[in-house]
Structure formats: structure tokens, C-alpha cells
A and B are shown apart, each in its own frame.
Chain A
Amino acid sequence: MTARLSISNLSKRFGPVIANDGVSLEIRPGELHCLLGENGAGKSTLSSCLYGLYQPDQGRIVIDGEERRFRSPADAIRASIGMVHQHFVLVPTFTVLENIVVGTGAGWRLDTRAARRRVSELCQRNGLQLNLDALVGDLSVGEQQWVEIVKALYLGARVLILDEPTAVLTPQESERLFTLLQQMTADGLSIILITHKMNEVMRSDRVTVLRRGRVVGTVETGSITREELTQMMIGRQLKQIEAEDRAGSGAPAVVTISAVSLRDARRVAVLDNLSLELRAGEVLGLAGVAGNGQRELFEAIAGVRRTERGEIRLDGKSVANLSAADIARRGVGYVPEDRFRDGLVPDLTIAENIVLGQQWQAPWRRGVLLDAARMREHAARSIADFSIATTGPGERIRRLSGGNAQKVILARELAKATRCLLCNQPTRGLDVGVIEYVHGQILRKRQDGVAILLASEELEDLMRLSDRIAVIFRGRIMGILPRHSASIALLGQMMAGTPLEQAA
């Protein structure tokens, strides 16, 4: 069988960094091919080269036996390569049809009639039910992804690159996606799936593992185990951290949330009569599809956001009149979801970021000034303790990788968290090795008797680390279950809005 797409000896460097180093790869017609690798392994660079967003420094790209050179996405599209980006590139105020049609066609007139016919055909052929006149902003995330896929097919894609497509989906939506992908490959489409989730890799036909910009190998998925793949990916064996069971659940509550409600700027309820208890020495996992009120819940507890109704108590005292600084001073650490926006000031140094929020307190202040020497010393210690890869305390956060930036936040927040630790997506986008480390730190806090609220999109992580798991949907708790009675299927149902009592 001749390859649909073959890449040989492709290299791309950014200054001194080699992102792709002599990558060679073949994609067959009708194949579901996984690209597996950690952050910085070169997956994204490779796909950007394939889509004409970057120009490789050397190497050949051959499609259907013809060598191609991509100077822009237009060239890639002409060579029938399509791409679905991890963060959807859609216009929420446009209809489905407009999103698909914009930038296509010829002439001055916008001919939606012919376009509508072709799009309906594409949907029908792939068994997708999309209302072409619905506004994209009103669709569920799963449906938005279909729009992205149809968009690429409409441009005539015969090789489809999907970048981490399940990061934002519920387990059920992911399941549907895979059914769709298998159908499309049976139809002759070649799919390149970029992922780091093992259970997805195992559903592909072949997998190519990248590490530090190089291909470690391409294997038939049927002939290899998850453990072997993990080892190929990180170059060593991984020990999985798991919380040991603890008898009884009689620990006292540190944070009590009772009947809290909150509406957003559009007056839509984001927290709806929500009650929870965070107990000392316990990890409460919070599962849910992104955007169901997790962020608001975390911010309400941390005092960043005021609730409209209900009450939050910290060690028995209402936090209603406390500022975020007061709450932090009472022993609450908060690791926010968006680390560069809410967790750090990218243009300040590591030393400055580590004391941020406590700059008025001893020991950092000396009169009206900051004690720079002490800050530097403290930062240097944190850098050593958390093995942060950096040139030193004076380095700006902007220059750190996501994992190292996250360690700076952890260094600051773990120190504060003597009573309660709030972690919203603490490992998102981090490498396996760093994830392991972060999980270890969280469990150490649990050992110290700190009450922990942990939200994560990785259900498997939640099931390993949590004592109990609560599922949030549209600002309501669908149920709380001890981790041993949780399963991906059950959590998935609850994440889609089925209360625990009704979930099978």
C-alpha cells in the first residue's frame, strides 16, 4: 500500500531549540494514526509544519506520491490536509453554516444555497446531526467539534489532523467522536490524532511516539501494551501514585459550603444551590466538564468572587465579609485554573511572584519596602525544593515553561495551605513526570491533615487521588461518591447531567 502522506527527515528549530529532529513518518490511506509524546516532544510543531503554519528547515513532505512544500495553510489545504485545533477556531456569533462557508467559494456573492447542500451531504454521510442555522455559541462543546470536523472536510481534507480532540469532551462525547473517526477512516480518510491519553492511543491503528523532537518508533497498536508505550514516551518507567485508603470519614469539616448560588453577568445561574463539605485530611475530587461552575466554586471559596445566596464557612466562621487576603491568611491556598492569568504575573520575577499576596506581611516587608535579599533567598530555596528549571530567582515568569510556572504557584500556595488547599486543574498541560510530582505534593498535604478540593479533567487521576468524588453539572452537585464506587462510565453519566440516584 502506498502512503497517503509521508514525511522524511523533517527538522525544525527555533533558535537553539530543536523542536523536530529528523522526523520520518508514514500515514496510510484510511488509517487512524496516533502521535504520542509529552509536552515539548514536538507533536505540535510537526502538525504545524504539516499545516503550513511553520516552514520546516529541512525534510520532505510527500502526499500521494507528489512532493509538496507548504508556505501557508492555503498550500496545505490545496494538498487536502485539514486540521482541527485543540482550541476551536470558531466564531460563536456565526451560524454553523457561516462558520463552515467563510473563506471558501468564489465570486462576490455569498452563495449559501449550494454550500448548504454540500454541508448537509457531508453531515449525512458521516451521520452527524447539525442544525446548520444554529449559532455556534449555542452548541455544546461536542457539537462545536463536529463543526470543526465538517469545516475541514468541506475544504476537501483527505488527511485530517486532530490536536488533543478529547481534552474538552465528556467521556460519552469522546466515545461518539471515536465512533465518528472510525467511520471516517473506513470511508478512506486518513486521520492523525495527537494525544497523550493512553486509552485513546489504544484505539488507533498505529502509533508514532515522539520524544524530544525525535521519533522513538512507529508501532502497530495491537502489538504493544500501554506500559511499553509509556516507557517509550517518557524514556523510563512510571510509578503511579495512589492515595492509600483511610478508614472512616469522621474527620471534622474545614470548609462548609451550604446552598450557595451565583449568577454570571448574563444572569445565568453558574452555581445553583450548591452544598459541599471539605474535611480535614481528605481529598475531595471535583469532576465535571469544563465550564460547569468549577471556576466559580473555587473563586467563591477563595474569596475572589462573592456569592449571592448561601454561606461558606471556614473553620466555622462565615467568610462572607472576608477578603481574599483574609481567607488566604487563615490558611487557604488556591491553585487557579489559568496559571498565567490568575496565578502569576508573567512579567514579574520568580522571587516576586512567590511572595505575591503576602507582600505586606512579615517577613517580606521591611518598613515600607520589601526585603529583596530575603525574597531572593526564599525563592532560591523554593527553586531547589521544587526543582524548578530556571536561571535563578530573578528570572521572569514569562520565560518559564508551563510546568515550571506551575511549580512556582505550588511553592507559594502549598506554604499558605495549612487548613485548606484548592486545586483547579493543577496538572493541565503538564508532562507526566511533573504531574507525578504535583500529585505527590497534594497527597503530602493530605497527610498533614489539610482539606483539599481537587478538580481535574483526568478522571483516572481523580479516582486515584480522591477520597470522595463530587460531580458538578451546571452549577449543581449531581452526587458525591466514595472513590471505590466510582467508574468512568458512572462519572461520565453524571457529568452529562444525570443525578447519582438515576445513574445506572
Chain B
Amino acid sequence: MWTDLLEAGIIVSVLAAAIRIATPILFTALGELVAERAGIYNMGLEGMMLMGAFAGWLGTYHSGSALVGIGAAVLAGLVMSLLFAFMVITLQIEQIVTGLALNLLASGLSTFWLRSAFSDVNKVPGISILQNAPIPLLADIPYLGAVLFDQRVVTYAALLAVPAVWLFLYRSRLGLEIRCIGENPKALDIKGHSVALRQYAAVLFGGAMAGLGGACLTVAATAHFVPDMVNGRGWLALVIVIAGGWSPGRVLAAALIFSFLDALQLQIQGVGIQIPYQLLLAMPYVAAILALMLRRKAGRAPTMLGMSYRRE
């Protein structure tokens, strides 16, 4: 049965699944990467993704358009992160505690809305989800085409976001300023620029991306909203930023490795190999813990990560 896994068709489908599964985590991790480079630790990612998933589903359900759903998800992420930014940047409340509080808020809020909109939670309507959009010509390349170019639009967007975030951080003025804030905010402050304004921008971007990531879970995957359906992906995104050493390229690599393990365990379950499925499910998370342990030395977090800035 193990040999089944080595067939070309299976390998292709595992790899294609890996890239699909990576999409929501990649969006969220890229957004968090920018926020963390500006020194802000957003522990509320799980909640922001959840709100994104909920808003994406609700928006699509009411409008019948996935685009409206995704727009609603981005908006939900922005609103959540605006609240978060106000608390940690303006009020300077501890970042970790604030993030945790937002997770609870999102969990409660989404369930409450779901219940008040649909009296029978077990009969929540489904939405029509995004279908694969194969890219002409490229999708016909043997193997590679099926892995890379026969995916959903959101997946292409997530992959394109990697070089976009890189260009932003390393080739734009604002990107340099944001990296500067994560290392030494005073250096920007004494040149007469607002540190808080840029941190707001970074956090809002992170929130929008988390909302987008959440939307992928409903609009592009399951058609239904289930309470607490994000199921740890927000936390995984946080780990991926660390494992990816705060750089867009390596964040992509880390996201792919985790989602590959996830896809692999699905496939192993699928071909019926006798391993308790709980062990398989745990695989990506075990890998996450290992990655954290290995990164202990090599990782270089932004110096001011998690600390609020106040001019003395």
C-alpha cells in the first residue's frame, strides 16, 4: 500500500493539494509577516481568519457572488485589525493578551451571528464555491501544469503575493520604514515621521490578509460555515512566520512544507494505510514544533517585536 504513494498520479495530486491547502495559511502568514516587521505581534490571527471565513461565506450567500464574499471577508479582517491596532498601538495594551481576547471575541461573535441568522445550525445553507481556473496552455504542461496551473484564483493570488510582499518590504520606501520600525522605531520618529501611522498600516494589511485567508476556507473550499472551523490555521500561520525567518520567500517554503505534510496525511488516510488518523492529523503540528525548536538559534526576530513604542 505504501508503494501506491509513489505513483506519478498520486504524487501530482498530493502536490496540487499541498498548494491548495497552503493558500489560506500563506495569505495570513504574509500579512502577519508585514505586521511583525513593524514590531506588532498579532496573536489574534485565528480570530481574524474566522471572521474572514464567516463574512466570506455570509457575503457569498447573500449576494451569490464569490467576489462580494471575499470583499466582505477583507472588510471583516480590516475591522478586527483596526480594533486590535487601536488597542495595542494607541492604548498600548499588551499585544499577546489583546490578540487572545480577539480570538475569543471572533469565536463568540461568529457563532452568535450564525445562530441568530439560521435558527437550525445543522441546516445552514451551502454556497457555490470557487472552481478551479486552469491557466490556458500552462495547465497542459505534464505534471507541473496539474500541480501549479490548475488551481483556484485565490491560490494564484496567494502565490503572487509572495513576490509582491518582497518587493514592498525591500524595494519600497514604506517597506524600508516598516522594517526600520521593527528594529528601532526611534530612528524613524526622530526623522519626523509617525511610527503609529505606519504600524496601523501594517496591522491593517495583516488583518485584511487574514480575512482573505479565512475566506479561502469557505468561499474556495467547503461551502459551509462551521463554528471555529479555522481549526488552528491562524496559529500555524504564526509559526510559519517564525519558521520562515521573517522573509517572504522562506515563509512560502515553510507554508508549503506544512501543507505538504497535511496533504500527505490526507492521502495516506485515503489509501487506507493502517496508522491511527489522529497521529496523521497531528503531523503538521509536530513539524511546527520541530521547526520552532530548530529555529531557536537561526531565527532573528525583529528586535522590537511585541514591544509598544513610546517616545521618552
B192–A74 CB distance below 8 A? yes
- A91, CB-defined interface residue at 8 Å: yes
B188–A103 CB distance below 8 A? yes
B176–A102 CB distance below 8 A? yes
Stretch of A82-90, A191-199, A348-356, A441-449 that contacts chain B: A82-90
Q: Which residues of B contact A76 (CB under 8 A)?
A: 192
**Given A72-B192, A77-B192, do A105 and B173 touch, yes or no (CB 8 Å)?**
yes
Q: How far is the CA of A104 from the CA of B179 in the complex (A)?
A: 14
How many residues of chain A have a CB within 8 Å of chain B?
Answer: 30
Q: How far is the CA of A108 from the CA of B164 in the complex (A)?
A: 14
- Mask, A62-104, CB within 8 Å of B = 1, is 0000000000111111100001010001111110001101111
- B152, CB-defined interface residue at 8 Å: no
Q: Which residues of B contact A94 (CB under 8 A)?
A: 179-180, 183
- B191, CB-defined interface residue at 8 Å: yes
Q: How far is the CA of A99 from the CA of B177 in the complex (A)?
A: 10
Q: Which of B180, B184, B192 has the most C-beta atoms of chain A within 10 angstroms of its own C-beta?
A: B192
A109–B190 CB distance below 8 A? no
B177–A103 CB distance below 8 A? yes
**Given A98-B176, A108-B174, A109-B173, do A92 and B183 touch, yes or no (CB 8 Å)?**
yes
A93–B183 CB distance below 8 A? yes
Q: How far is the CA of A348 from the CA of B142 in the complex (A)?
A: 71
Q: Which residues of A contact B180 (CB under 8 A)?
A: 91, 94, 102-103
Q: Which residues of B contact A110 (CB under 8 A)?
A: 170-173, 175-176
Closest-by-CB residue of A relative to B184 is A91
Q: Which residues of A contact B5 (CB under 8 A)?
A: none
B192–A73 CB distance below 8 A? yes
B176–A109 CB distance below 8 A? no
A89–B186 CB distance below 8 A? yes
Closest-by-CB residue of B relative to A83 is B190
Closest-by-CB residue of B relative to A73 is B192
Q: Which residues of B contact A78 (CB under 8 A)?
A: 192
Q: Which residues of B contact A52 (CB under 8 A)?
A: 192
- Mask, A105-141, CB within 8 Å of B = 1, is 1011110000000000000000000000000000000
- Mask, B173-210, CB within 8 Å of A = 1, is 11111011001101111111100000000000000000
Q: Which residues of A contact B175 (CB under 8 A)?
A: 110
Pick from B171, B188, B190: contact of A85, CB below 8 A: B190
Closest-by-CB residue of B relative to A74 is B192
- A53, CB-defined interface residue at 8 Å: yes
Closest-by-CB residue of B relative to A70 is B192
- B311, CB-defined interface residue at 8 Å: yes
Q: How far is the CA of A107 from the CA of B186 in the complex (A)?
A: 22
Closest-by-CB residue of B relative to A85 is B190
Pick from A53, A72, A90, A155: contact of B187, CB below 8 A: A90
* B80-115 CB contacts (< 8 Å) to partner A: none
B183–A73 CB distance below 8 A? no
**Given A102-B176, A102-B177, do A155 and B191 touch, yes or no (CB 8 Å)?**
yes
Q: Which residues of A contact B173 (CB under 8 A)?
A: 105, 107-110
A103–B183 CB distance below 8 A? no
Closest-by-CB residue of A relative to B188 is A103
**Given A77-B192, A85-B190, A102-B188, do A109 and B172 touch, yes or no (CB 8 Å)?**
yes
Q: How far is the CA of A72 from the CA of B176 in the complex (A)?
A: 22
Q: Within the complex, what minimum Cβ distance (angstroms) separates B23 from chain A?
A: 27
Q: Which residues of A contact B192 (CB under 8 A)?
A: 52, 72-78, 103
Q: How far is the CA of A73 from the CA of B188 in the complex (A)?
A: 10
Q: How far is the CA of A105 from the CA of B174 in the complex (A)?
A: 11
Q: Which residues of B contact A90 (CB under 8 A)?
A: 184, 187
Q: Which residues of B contact A99 (CB under 8 A)?
A: 187
A53–B311 CB distance below 8 A? yes
**Given A94-B180, A109-B172, do A103 and B311 touch, yes or no (CB 8 Å)?**
no
**Given A98-B176, A108-B174, A109-B173, do A103 and B184 touch, yes or no (CB 8 Å)?**
no
Q: How far is the CA of A77 from the CA of B192 in the complex (A)?
A: 8
A73–B189 CB distance below 8 A? yes
Closest-by-CB residue of B relative to A154 is B191
Q: Which residues of A contact B193 (CB under 8 A)?
A: 74, 103
Q: Which of B175, B177, B180, B186 has the most C-beta atoms of chain A within 10 angstroms of its own C-beta?
A: B180
Q: Which residues of A contact B191 (CB under 8 A)?
A: 73-74, 77, 102-104, 155
Q: Within the complex, what minimum Cβ distance (angstroms) separates B34 from chain A?
A: 15
Pick from A89, A98, A101: contact of B190, CB below 8 A: A89
**Given A77-B191, A104-B191, do A89 and B172 touch, yes or no (CB 8 Å)?**
no
Q: Which residues of B contact A83 (CB under 8 A)?
A: 190
Q: Which residues of B contact A98 (CB under 8 A)?
A: 176
Q: Within the complex, what minimum Cβ distance (angstroms) separates B74 from chain A?
A: 21
Q: How far is the CA of A76 from the CA of B184 in the complex (A)?
A: 21
Q: Within the complex, what minimum Cβ distance (angstroms) separates A43 from chain B?
A: 16
28 A-B pairs in the complex with CB atoms less than 8 angstroms apart: A52-B192, A53-B311, A73-B189, A73-B191, A74-B191, A74-B192, A74-B193, A91-B187, A92-B183, A93-B300, A94-B183, A98-B176, A99-B187, A102-B177, A102-B187, A102-B191, A103-B180, A103-B192, A103-B193, A105-B173, A108-B174, A109-B172, A110-B170, A110-B171, A110-B172, A110-B173, A110-B175, A155-B191
Known: A53-B311, A78-B192. 15 other contacts (CB 8 A): A51-B190, A73-B189, A74-B191, A74-B192, A76-B192, A89-B184, A90-B184, A90-B187, A93-B183, A93-B300, A102-B180, A105-B173, A108-B173, A109-B173, A110-B170
- A-B pairs with lowest CB-CB distance, top 4: A74-B192, A103-B191, A73-B192, A91-B183
B residues lining the A interface (CB < 8 Å): 170-177, 179-180, 183-184, 186-193, 300, 303, 311
